[in-house]
Structure 1
Amino acid sequence: MATRDTLIGALADGCIHSGSSLAQLLGLSRSAVWKQVHRLGELGLEIEVVPGRGYRLRHPLDLLDQARIQAAIGPVAMAGCESLEVTGITSSTSAALIAAAPPAVGRWRALLAEFQSAGRGRRGRRWLSPYGSGLCLSLAWSFATAPRDLPALSLGVGVAVRRTLAACGAGPVQLKWPNDIVLGGAKLGGILVDVDGDARGPFRAVVGLGLNLAVPAGLLQEVVAEGGLPPGGLDAAALGQAGGRNGLAAALLESVHGLLAAFARHGFAPLADEWRRHDYLCGQPVTVRTGAAAANGMARGIAADGALLLDGPEGITAVFAGDVTLRKSP
């Protein structure tokens, strides 16, 4: 693993690196370097072999840096941080935090990864993102007791994420019930919240966030083939305004931390109208699938508790869980 991380770090600049220089850096033979380079394709990295000169990444990487992220987070949020770690590869940032001890009440821990081998979306779907092409992060927080409006927590996190993206000029970012971030009709990211503990406290929430920054053509085809909303990325100008991947990661962690602290006191009510203003589905024909059942209707926004309001044959009903897709009008 250390060899792989060192190799990626060397190639991250997008320049050509000779086999001999990489062999010296890694302490390997040139044939062993060749094998290591070609294994990087398993992480979604595109390697170019330049005959007689060496290897380079087709797309340079802005690698995550723990020190830079910590330095960019404000002092109020950092005062409550128990740990912030960056790793190259993990099965799932959320799973790793769930397996660890929860933070103390009112404090938080974060884990960021360049690549998740078993990243999760809603209802067990995979979260697909090549190495270093997006942001994969999770933040664990402990409430004193289970907060009111708990089912709407992922919607509240969506508001915090949208605010952060809007601040860096990302354009008209919208929120798709219950946990997707949408930009220009494409899925920019997704949120997954896991909770555990006693409702009387302490009560832990682990917020997982996956955000697309660059979307390779192969990934686009794979996601569409699985029936998901086409993925979209963040443009270079917005990412640059955010301070690159590290600056954006810091801003998102700080924003989610602030949201969780406020949610503990006030719940979802102060956020509901803001969520409605950026509702991607409202007024559109949709299909809601819950298990084997499917219901068609018009999306009519959300209720005060965050439930989706579906206007169907039997009138308006509240939907508390399910997968929602846009339905083409006949």
Structure 2
Amino acid sequence: MSDVSPRTERLLTLLADGQWHSGEELGAALGVSRAAISKQLKQLAAVELPLESVVGRGYRLKTPLDLLSKERVVAAMQPDAAALLKDFALHTQLASTNALLMEQQRQGQIHAQLCVAEQQSAGRGRRGRVWHSPFAQNLYFSLGWHFQSGIAAIEGLSLAVGVALCEALADIGINQPRLKWPNDVLAEGKKLAGVLIELAGDADGECSVVLGIGMNVAMQAGQDIDQPWTSLSALGSRCDRSTVLAALLDRLLPLMDSYEALGFKYYQQRWNSLNAFAGTHVQLLSPSQTVNGLMLGVDNDGALLLECDAQARRFIGGELSLRPGRAQTKHAGA
């Protein structure tokens, strides 16, 4: 599943401290020759890590790595949340954590399953957008879950997930995270995290959900991203990524476990209290029209409510995009 060999993964662990390591030292640790180490080091290009080499000193990464650790994640989690997790797979590099779990869903292996990657080569955001995934800087993970009552019973789930993410961020000291309908987490008006949910199954019977989350933890400037963004480190957080992931899972796993019983109505008021655009004029874009209105919040199904021409109108997700806007309604196209 990974584009990086197990030996290269071990080499990354040795180099993660950002200190100088001689070829002899690395070879002895991995049980290979110095020449073999040189070949392994070339594989680091696959994860786009800048490596320095100096004769007489050896090799080091230009920037130390905060590698994820399954053991540290589980140890940092609340016991009740950790008990809900049935499988935890950590990969060095994947095309997409969501894609992997969707494939495993087709094979019947899905419930309470966590898939995490240090890097994604084909990460996706909402509406098929690319999710930038530099190595060991952010969090890229997916949860697979079985639900028994059909797709209708999990309406609004992605919005409830946003609430859980904001509350987890508050748990680790991030001030005033906010939600942008339907699936973005903002901080200081900039994107911090996104949610992508994929479904398979029956409208009224058993269905499977893959919940994908990307969160900027320590992303460096220079990424080609077409919207304002921020990261936990830019917001002043000093938590390592394993601690952040544990905090997120402490909120997300109980949500997934209880959502069929509680539904979105349990989260509606909390979502509205975190609404980034509450009481402001917004612009809602779709392939066929642009609607301007006053943000009223969301209803108990998670639908967006806008006041347009003195009337409340209801909008559900799909190909809709929310932006700051003006209090008028206009139609563009058919």
User: TM-score per shorter chain, which class?
Assistant: 0.7 to 0.9
Among 92, 95, 98, the residue aligned to 2:99 = 95
Which residue is 1:233 aligned to?
231
Which residue is 1:223 aligned to?
225
Matched AA of 1:266 = L
Q: C-alpha separation between the residues in 1 aligned to 2:86 and 2:109?
A: 7
What SS does the aligned partner of 1:7 have?
helix
Structure 1 residues 89 and 328 mapped into 2: Cα distance closer, same or farther (>3 Å)? farther
- The 8 Å contact of residues 82 and 103 in structure 1, kept in 2 or not, is answered as no
Matched AA of 1:210 = G
What SS does the aligned partner of 1:155 have?
helix
Matches within 5 A, 1:97-112: 97-101=101-105, 102=108, 107-112=111-116
- The 8 Å contact of residues 149 and 268 in structure 1, kept in 2 or not, is answered as no
Structure 1 residues 261 and 18 mapped into 2: Cα distance closer, same or farther (>3 Å)? same
What SS does the aligned partner of 1:89 have?
coil
After superposition, give the CA deviation of every residue in 1:231-271 in whole Å (9 maximum; x if it has no partner): 2111386343xxx2212212212311111122110101121
Whether 1:281 and 2:277 are equivalent positions in the alignment is: yes
Which residue is 1:178 aligned to?
182
- TM-aligned CA deviation for residue 38 of structure 1: 5.5
- The 8 Å contact of residues 8 and 43 in structure 2, kept in 1 or not, is answered as no
Identity of aligned residues (%): 35
After superposition, give the CA deviation of every residue in 1:268-312 in whole Å (9 maximum; x if it has no partner): 112111111111122333332223543333333222221122334
Residues matched between the structures, number: 317
TM-score normalised by L of structure 1: 0.86
Q: C-alpha separation between the residues in 2 aligned to 1:58 and 1:296?
A: 48
Which residue is 1:253 aligned to?
249
Q: C-alpha separation between the residues in 1 aligned to 2:213 and 2:33?
A: 37
Structure 1 residues 309 and 60 mapped into 2: Cα distance closer, same or farther (>3 Å)? same
CA-atom RMSD, angstroms?
2.6
Which residue is 1:264 aligned to?
260
Q: Structure 2, unaligned stretches of length 5 or more?
A: 328-334
Q: C-alpha separation between the residues in 2 aligned to 1:316 and 1:64?
A: 46
After superposition, give the CA deviation of every residue in 1:179-226 in whole Å (9 maximum; x if it has no partner): 11111111111111111112333221111111110121112xx013xx
Which residue is 1:324 aligned to?
322
TM-score normalised by L of structure 2: 0.85
4+ residue stretches of structure 1 with deviation over 6 A?
none
- TM-aligned CA deviation for residue 44 of structure 1: 4.2
Q: C-alpha separation between the residues in 2 aligned to 1:36 and 1:326?
A: 49
Q: Structure 1, unaligned stretches of length 5 or more?
A: none
Q: C-alpha separation between the residues in 1 aligned to 2:214 and 2:276?
A: 19
Q: C-alpha separation between the residues in 1 aligned to 2:229 and 2:55?
A: 34
What SS does the aligned partner of 1:100 have?
helix
Q: C-alpha separation between the residues in 2 aligned to 1:98 and 1:291?
A: 27
- TM-aligned CA deviation for residue 23 of structure 1: 4.9
- TM-aligned CA deviation for residue 313 of structure 1: 5.0
Among 108, 126, 135, the residue aligned to 1:131 = 135
Q: C-alpha separation between the residues in 2 aligned to 1:149 and 1:296?
A: 30
Matched AA of 2:156 = A
Structure 1 residues 239 and 158 mapped into 2: Cα distance closer, same or farther (>3 Å)? farther
Whether 1:198 and 2:202 are equivalent positions in the alignment is: yes
- TM-aligned CA deviation for residue 149 of structure 1: 5.6
